[in-house]
Amino acid sequence: MMTEDQFPVLSALIDREPLDPDALALALEQPEGRQILVDFIRLREFMAAELEQAETVTLPALSPKRAGASRLWRLAAVVLLPLMVGLGGGYWWREREQRRPPTPTRVIQFVPGVDWK
Amino acid sequence: MTGRRATIAAIGCLLCVSTSGVARQPQRVEPGSGVHPTLVMGLQSFTRTSLGGLGTAMSFDFFGARDRETLFVWSGSREFPSLCAVGSGNKPQEGALVTWRADARVVSLDASGATFDIRWSRTVNDASDVDGSSIDRTYHVRLAERADQTLDVLRTRQGSEDCDGVAVTLQFKYEENQSLANSLLEYDVWLIDRDRAGHETIDHLTPRGLQGQQMEYAFRRIAYGRDGLAADNGPLGLEVRGRVTGRARPDGRIDIVVNAGRTFWLGSLGNGDGGSRQATVEDSETIELELPGPAGSVRSDGHDLDLAALLRGQRTAIRVATRRVS
């Protein structure tokens, strides 16, 4: 009968790790042991295929969330940049206008010889 | 020329003369109601070590309908026969060594001073220790507010450590309207200088002062190059400074007096001129005072630099906005 203690020897076989041949022989004598070994091999094939696909596909295609975030940033930049430029320009204009004196209601001229000497 | 033409020409000439006469008069504004025009006559003794010894003063208060006053100041008495024993009153002192009498009449008042007809006399009753004699003078004078004017100086014959002589002074001032005396006024004062190429330099100050208080302002020096254009490190410096004085009126408007002085500097040599204008403005109203074009010259490398020619097209103006804070 296959016990849980016999699974690690099958796993070590798949992973090409050192193992006890007697324990392996015992595990393979059991139908469940052989079935587990087959399942292990199928799982390894499946993982190998997945890894191969991951190496041939570009990052954006793999990251739809990232693509969405990028579009959001671009949109924010398009909206916020003019807004920030406008605010900065407005601030500069306001500062400039505050430095300028108000328009006078009248202009009085000093007259040489009369009130200017 | 027919008689009618001659008459028209004569009237025309008269109008020209009267118009030009008016135009040559400085523009002045009447002070607001509530201020008391006051003329102070002072008598101050001085010694050889101090110009401020014993003193006395008497005020002419031209309040209400009164437009003339007579006051007396005197030196010495029977008890203290010294030129430096001074006194004052509205009647002469019997036994005084010297008596000064002044009869003053107000001719006109404005925001920065007043014009008076003053007849004054010095009567020397005892000339034994006085280096002077009796005199009588009539003046038609304009007195700027709070500016001391010396009317007379009289010395002792010998002089001493304690008493060398006395000086008679006049000072005109306004006693403030009690309800407005503590008014606080804020002035925005701008200098706007533009060279002939249109480059503008603006400086701004905000002095604050109480009713009738003279507030000084001084703008940073503006440099001009030898081509007559504003230049950061030019050798010619234009300096504008002055005083602004305001007085809130009961009607809510404000009387202001703006004094401006302008100096062109070339190294340590300068050429200066200046003037004073007054106006009645609304609260927070901005007015501009335009300075005349530069005139005269400054000495440079042994020859005169003609300011009018160098700075033709240049314009300097001062803008003032006055606001009553409280």
Same domain, B222 and B303: yes
Going from N- to C-terminal start, the domains of chain A cover 1-56, 62-100
Tell me if B235 is assigned to some domain: yes
> Which residues from A are below 8 Å from B289, CB to CB?
107-110
Tell me if B23 is assigned to some domain: no
Query: Closest Cα of chain B to A95: distance in Å?
Result: 14
Q: Which of B40, B38, B42, B41 is nearest to B61 (CA)?
A: B38
Cα–Cα distance, B192 to B199 (Å, whole number): 10
Same domain, B288 and B199: yes
Q: Which of B122, B140, B175 is a domain's end point?
A: B175
Tell me if B6 is assigned to some domain: no
Same domain, B139 and B205: no
* Packing angle of the helix pair A21-29, A31-56 (nearest 10 deg): 100
Same domain, B71 and B159: yes
- On whether the CB atoms of residues B169 and B58 are closer than 8 A, the answer is no
Percent of chain A with pLDDT over 70: 78
CB contact under 8 A, A109 and B289: yes
Tell me if B84 is assigned to some domain: yes
Give the range of the structural domain holding residue B94, as residue numbers without chain letter.
36-175
| pLDDT in the model for residue B8 | 44
Supply the pTM of this predicted model.
0.67
> Which residues from B are below 8 Å from A117, CB to CB?
273-275
Same domain, B249 and B191: yes
Tell me if B299 is assigned to some domain: yes
Same domain, B133 and B53: yes
CB contact under 8 A, B287 and A115: no
Same domain, B110 and B193: no
CB contact under 8 A, B204 and A101: yes
H/E element holding B288? strand B286-290
Q: Which of B272, B204, B268, B265 is nearest to B238 (CA)?
A: B265
Beta-sheet pairing, B68-75 with B36-46: unpaired
pLDDT, tens digit, 9 for 90 and up, residues B117-131 = 999 999 999 988 899
Lowest mean pLDDT, pick from A62-71, A79-88, B58-67, B236-245: A62-71
Q: How many domains does chain B have?
A: 2
Tell me if B165 is assigned to some domain: yes
Tell me if B29 is assigned to some domain: no
Judged by DSSP in three states, B249 sits in: coil
Asked if ipTM goes beyond 0.90, one says no
- Residues written for chain A: 117
User: What average pLDDT does this structure show over B89-97?
Assistant: 90
Residue B180 pLDDT level (bands cut at 50, 70, 90) = very high
CB contact under 8 A, B190 and A117: no
pLDDT, tens digit, 9 for 90 and up, residues B222-265 = 999 999 999 998 999 999 999 999 999 999 999 999 999 999 99
| pLDDT in the model for residue B258 | 97
> Which residues from B are below 8 Å from A113, CB to CB?
24
Chain B residue with the nearest C-alpha to that of A107: B288
Tell me if B293 is assigned to some domain: yes
Same domain, B194 and B120: no
Q: Which of B174, B147, B171 is nearest to B33 (CA)?
A: B174
Lowest mean pLDDT, pick from A34-38, B103-107, B169-173: A34-38
H/E element holding B295? none
- On whether the CB atoms of residues B300 and B266 are closer than 8 A, the answer is yes
| pLDDT in the model for residue B11 | 43
pLDDT, tens digit, 9 for 90 and up, residues A69-82 = 777 787 787 778 87
CB contact under 8 A, B26 and A114: yes
Task: Count contacts between A and B (CB, < 8 Å).
Answer: 66
Cα–Cα distance, B212 to B207 (Å, whole number): 13
Q: Is the pLDDT of residue A2 over 70?
A: no
H/E element holding A33? helix A31-56
